[in-house]
Chain A
């Protein structure tokens, strides 16, 4: 259980990245599956080569960032559909990752990693102190994301996801904001890959497969519980969602499901989280979100607007 929470908090870093693209930019970015492994591969290879773990971890994040830029360029400058752009980068990264690692995996067994001090002090797995350290780290990142989204540049990024034409007419180069967001998002994902590799003691070519669903599951789960009305809560929710997700997987394994079934469980979880709120009886169960004021286009919106509702869009 403690292990699941620790892992969940680490994956919270990736969930923050997925939040940036999926929710803020509204871009379904599949690069994640590849850039996660890239971060892990770069960090593991550098650690094995004798570099400092801090440097290796940062380089892992940097490699993810570059992957995001590639997807961004394919989409904005190459006018390739967003989904396809992400898939292209992801597939290409498979080969790149094998090159970086020089094989299908890189073990970190006797290497000095960021986790070594925690392990030596016996803080991981057995006590909650390790989880507490991870929590501190991921919360710092969460606050950084909150801060960034509230800057002038961050607002422009939010508007790019919200109303692209409008922010263009206010002078923002939306190609730039799109690429930047993809870069930051995949930077976080690469960082997460680097951390997870050090936590589990190896990097592996297939460690990123299906990860985008884990990210989506975290974002959707967390926001179903905590809501997404203000950014502070929304970003907290995705970290919480990442932990929840790991706990659900942990429970699924405890009740005897096969680890190989976990991809199907993840997919089912995302489908359920997407569909359930739209189905009959469940619609009427007020979530915490509704109780706290609702969303812009939710049912709670009507009483707040004092004026006549806007007529439907007419063709210009």
Chain B
């Protein structure tokens, strides 16, 4: 489904600001895999997602989606494979457009857009149905501008927009991090149900260990541009927050040692 093979990315190479964000990274996702990604700040998690979505180009390696090498495709041409939700609740929707207009935009993910009516009766019926599944009452507010919604509502809508056309891959980047605990819990449970319903192959970045363990069938931990720990389905079932913290401690220690040796 998704194959990442030896991908590397360095920002500002050769300058004092040089930053190695991804180092020779390999990752394979099979159809229906739901992988949670954890790691410290600056570990390269967002960079990995940006590289898959095509927002940034990579220096080395190959990214295949569904057997197609997408390295050279610009972001907008990868959109038909990739749905995304960002950390910022404002990022995934157009605030001055209505809920139904936003959904219409998302419905045509990756398709040609012509002079047909944007919001038709038939589409509206579908939107009502989809929105009902969020249980936020948004189905009664189709004509409300999205800018009027709260962060949690917008993020739920973003999630629906990213997933309801069943993209080959769903990328979630700390999409609950900017919400208060109650809304975060709501969006987390919606994530579970939308992914399960669509059978979506998913990569989800989170800082919440509990969430990383609770959701998905695989887990990876990143540090300094590499995957430093991986748990498959069986291993993940047995994972605890304490065990994860211990793994975290190990890599932190290692990097500290590395630096000490270099110094």
A and B associate? yes
> A residues engaging B (CB < 8 A)?
148, 150-156, 158-159, 162-163, 165-174, 296-297, 301, 304-311, 313-314, 316
> Measured between alpha carbons, how far is A72 from B88 in the docked complex, in Å?
29
**Which one, B74, B96, B114, B149, contacts A152 given CB within 8 A?**
B114
Residues of B within 8 Å of A311, CB to CB, are 151, 178-180
Residues of B within 8 Å of A155, CB to CB, are 97, 101, 104-105, 113, 118
**Residue pair B46, A316 in contact (C-beta under 8 Å):** yes
Distance in Å from the Cβ of B25 to the closest Cβ of chain A?
19
Residues of A within 8 Å of B9, CB to CB, are none
Residues of B within 8 Å of A308, CB to CB, are 150-152, 180, 183
**Residue pair B79, A296 in contact (C-beta under 8 Å):** no
> B residues engaging A (CB < 8 A)?
46, 53, 74-77, 79-80, 82, 84, 86-97, 101, 104-106, 108-111, 113-119, 144-145, 147-154, 161, 173-174, 177-180, 183
**Which one, B91, B97, B119, B150, contacts A305 given CB within 8 A?**
B150
Residues of A within 8 Å of B115, CB to CB, are 148, 151-153
Known: A305-B148, A313-B88. A153 touches B113 (CB 8 A): yes
> Measured between alpha carbons, how far is A297 from B95 in the docked complex, in Å?
9
**Which one, B94, B97, B113, B174, contacts A316 given CB within 8 A?**
B174
Q: Which residue of chain B has its CB nearest to the CB of A165? A: B91
Known: A171-B76, A316-B46. A163 touches B95 (CB 8 A): yes
Residues of B within 8 Å of A309, CB to CB, are 150-151
Distance in Å from the Cβ of A149 to the closest Cβ of chain B?
9
**Residue pair B150, A306 in contact (C-beta under 8 Å):** yes
**Residue pair B144, A304 in contact (C-beta under 8 Å):** yes
Q: Which residue of chain B has its CB nearest to the CB of A229? A: B145
Distance in Å from the Cβ of A164 to the closest Cβ of chain B?
10
Q: Beyond the given A151-B114, A311-B179, please list 4 additional residue pairs across the A-B interface where CB-CB is below 8 A.
A: A170-B105, A172-B79, A311-B178, A314-B178
Residues of A within 8 Å of B109, CB to CB, are 170-171
Known: A163-B91, A316-B88. A170 touches B108 (CB 8 A): yes
What are 30 A-B pairs with beta-carbon distances under 8 A? A150-B117, A151-B116, A155-B97, A155-B113, A158-B94, A159-B105, A162-B95, A165-B91, A166-B91, A166-B94, A169-B53, A169-B82, A170-B79, A170-B109, A171-B76, A172-B79, A173-B76, A174-B76, A304-B144, A305-B150, A306-B150, A307-B151, A307-B153, A308-B150, A308-B180, A310-B89, A310-B178, A313-B88, A313-B90, A313-B178
Main secondary structure of the interface of B (DSSP, over half): loop
**Residue pair A153, B53 in contact (C-beta under 8 Å):** no
**Residue pair A171, B94 in contact (C-beta under 8 Å):** no
> Measured between alpha carbons, how far is A152 from B107 in the docked complex, in Å?
10
**Residue pair B94, A162 in contact (C-beta under 8 Å):** yes
> Measured between alpha carbons, how far is A76 from B54 in the docked complex, in Å?
18
Residues of B within 8 Å of A314, CB to CB, are 87-88, 177-178
Distance in Å from the Cβ of B135 to the closest Cβ of chain A?
13
Q: Which residue of chain B has its CB nearest to the CB of A159? A: B94
Distance in Å from the Cβ of A152 to the closest Cβ of chain B?
4
> Measured between alpha carbons, how far is A39 from B10 in the docked complex, in Å?
49
Q: Which residue of chain A has its CB nearest to the CB of B145? A: A296
> Measured between alpha carbons, how far is A308 from B144 in the docked complex, in Å?
17
Residues of B within 8 Å of A305, CB to CB, are 148-150, 153
Distance in Å from the Cβ of B233 to the closest Cβ of chain A?
29
Q: Which residue of chain A has its CB nearest to the CB of B146? A: A296
Residues of A within 8 Å of B86, CB to CB, are 316
Q: Which residue of chain B has its CB nearest to the CB of A297? A: B147
**Residue pair A159, B97 in contact (C-beta under 8 Å):** yes
Distance in Å from the Cβ of B157 to the closest Cβ of chain A?
11
Distance in Å from the Cβ of B60 to the closest Cβ of chain A?
24
**Residue pair A166, B87 in contact (C-beta under 8 Å):** no
Residues of B within 8 Å of A153, CB to CB, are 113-115
**Residue pair B149, A307 in contact (C-beta under 8 Å):** yes
**Which one, B53, B88, B152, contacts A307 given CB within 8 A?**
B152
Q: Which residue of chain A has its CB nearest to the CB of B50? A: A316
**Residue pair A163, B94 in contact (C-beta under 8 Å):** yes
**Residue pair A171, B79 in contact (C-beta under 8 Å):** yes
> Measured between alpha carbons, how far is A316 from B50 in the docked complex, in Å?
12
Known: A150-B118, A151-B115, A296-B95. A310 touches B151 (CB 8 A): yes
**Residue pair B150, A310 in contact (C-beta under 8 Å):** yes
**Residue pair A158, B97 in contact (C-beta under 8 Å):** yes
**Which one, B88, B113, B147, B178, contacts A296 given CB within 8 A?**
B147
Q: Which residue of chain A has its CB nearest to the CB of B165? A: A170
> Measured between alpha carbons, how far is A169 from B183 in the docked complex, in Å?
24
**Residue pair A316, B77 in contact (C-beta under 8 Å):** no
List of 9 A-B pairs having minimum Cβ-Cβ separation, nearest first: A310-B151, A307-B150, A171-B79, A296-B147, A171-B110, A152-B113, A162-B94, A155-B118, A163-B94
> Measured between alpha carbons, how far is A296 from B149 in the docked complex, in Å?
9
